[in-house]
Structure 1
Amino acid sequence: MTETTGTLATIEDVRDLYFPGTPLSLRHLFGPGTRRDKVVAHVMARAGSNRIRDKNIRELHGLPLMAYSIIMAREMGADMVLLNTDSEEYRRIGERFGAQSPFLRPTPLGDDDVSPGLASYYAMRRLLESGYPVGVWIDMYPTSPFRSLRTLGRFMEILRKAGTCVSVGMMPPPARRAYLPGKGDTPIRLDYDESLFFYKPVGTFLGQNLDAERRYWRHYEAVVDPIELIDIDTERDWALAETILENRLFDFGVRLP
């Protein structure tokens, strides 16, 4: 934990607080003779929000925002859709759409400045220690509601072959010249290889085989449809998503409720 705030900052912090005396790695759970073959789609939806209050359950074109991720996770064939939430209300809403919440997220893991990866690790460990034979873990962020069945099928196929699949969005390269505060009109030059591609992970699909022996390479797959790259963080993002849905500009590949 950080010394100044007591906030959980690392996976080690989560392990020490909730799973004391256990290894950090999951290798001991995947020894010879163990069978863990279930696919879990993990949807993180804590209560509240900074910019849009309770956005995860706010209705977007007739459905709670998080329902889009839950529905598509089920359609892609996940054995379980695990809703990781700290709210009984969110749990009830998620269950209406087929998610399961066998436990609630502890309050310290719901703080604004706690990395989503720590909440994911906690849920993964809880589910494994409950005896559920999860072998593949896929994070699907509820703020990314646009996923087509075709895209998810492509990601699942890559995940089966590579053992990992991380969705990414391409980024424009940085400027060649930049100005620093206090440096007047003298620019600095940024040199980089012209052949490089710049990208960042997006919340569409972050999948991995939990058995390290079955992770053959780390695969990054670009999301090419700009609509699928929409991440709802502001009211402007929300309005854009509403417009897309109202005008039927996106094909999910399935019929939504």
Structure 2
Amino acid sequence: MNILALIPARSGSKGVPGKNTKLLGGKPLLAYTIEQALEVSLFSKVILSTDCEQIAAVGKEWGAEIPFIRPASLATDSASSIGVVQHALDFYKEKGETFDAVCLLQPTTPFRAPHLISECIQKMKTENWDAVVSMLPVPHEFNPHWVFESDEKGALHIATGEKEIIKRRQELPNAYFRDGAVYLTRTEWLEKGSFFGEKLGFVLSNPTTFVNIDTLSDWDKAEQLIQQLKENS
């Protein structure tokens, strides 16, 4: 498969100002994701999509390709990730280059293992999924069969629509949530505006190294994880 690894890193973060180039454990946040992507031999290209020349310079220093500077319209708070990916695909299509799939790797999940990325690719190849996404298990107390939603009158109903709640934890079906580390999607579905397609597979991430950096408290957690990893190495 011809796969494009795309690392999105826009400027203007509000939760953690300048987070993509902010030093985490002595190196820029986005450097972790670039290094992981470059360790995977299954990518045709590893590119950084950014609207910022400074971020681009840091990305290039750490080994990512910088084929373009992303338009400002695709770097706002409301800009969608799918739009960012489609922009990159259109850029290469104009040059006569196409890809079978794109692997979106967000810098905000810096501790994914390279083998997790490879596992997603192999799973797509061997099991013919439209997309493969990294996931983590939902704790049983937040399982959708135990979650309630309120209606317009304030009455609560089981989120799944069932009338009776599942009483025993052991009977709950497995549930998962996206951890943000890997989104691998076939190009035909990305062009239709979907990261998931109709047949979605998943690979489990490591919960002990999970952090998705959006706030300063998330950053503090990442710093603590780095310290723990150093102590355990």
TM-score of the aligned structures, taking structure 2 as reference length: 0.79
Distance 1:39 1:129, change over 3 A: same
1:54 correspondence with 2:18: yes
| Residue 94 of structure 1: aligned partner | 59
Partner of 1:200: 177
Equivalent runs, 1:196-235 vs 2, <5 Å: 196-210=173-187, 218-235=199-216
Report deviation, 1:210: 2.4
Q: Structure 1: give runs of 5+ residues left out of the alignment.
A: 1-36, 253-257
Structure 1 residue aligned with 2:193: none
Choose which of 121, 127, 148 in structure 2 pairs with 1:156: 121
| Deviation, structure 1 residue 217 | 6.6
Looking at structure 1, the residues matched to 123 and 218 of structure 2 have their Cα atoms a distance apart, in angstroms, of 29
The one of 28, 34, 40 aligned to 2:4? 40
Tell me if 1:189 matches 2:163: no
Which residue of structure 2 lines up, in the alignment, with residue 173 of structure 1?
143
Matching of residue 74 in structure 1 with residue 41 in structure 2: no
> What is the count of residue pairs matched by the alignment?
211
Q: Would the aligned equivalents of 1:45 and 1:142 in 2 still touch at CA under 8 Å?
A: yes
Give, in angstroms, the shift of residue 216 of structure 1. 10
CA offset digits 1:112-143 (Å, max 9, x no partner): 11111111111121122223343321101110
Letter in 2 for 1:223: L
Is the CA contact 2:19–2:29 (under 8 Å) kept in the aligned structure 1? yes
User: What RMSD, in angstroms, separates the aligned Cα atoms of the two structures?
Assistant: 2.9
Q: Deviation at 1:200?
A: 3.2
Give 2:95's aligned amino acid. Answer: S
Please, which moves more after superposition, 123-132 or 75-84?
Answer: 123-132
CA contact (8 A) 1:146 1:227 kept: no
Alignment of 1:114-125 (within 5 A): 114-125=79-90
CA pair 59-249 structure 1, distance change in 2 beyond 3 A: same
Identity value in percent: 25
Displacement of 1:227 after TM fit?
Answer: 3.6
Q: Separation in 1 of the partners of 2:24 and 2:206?
A: 20
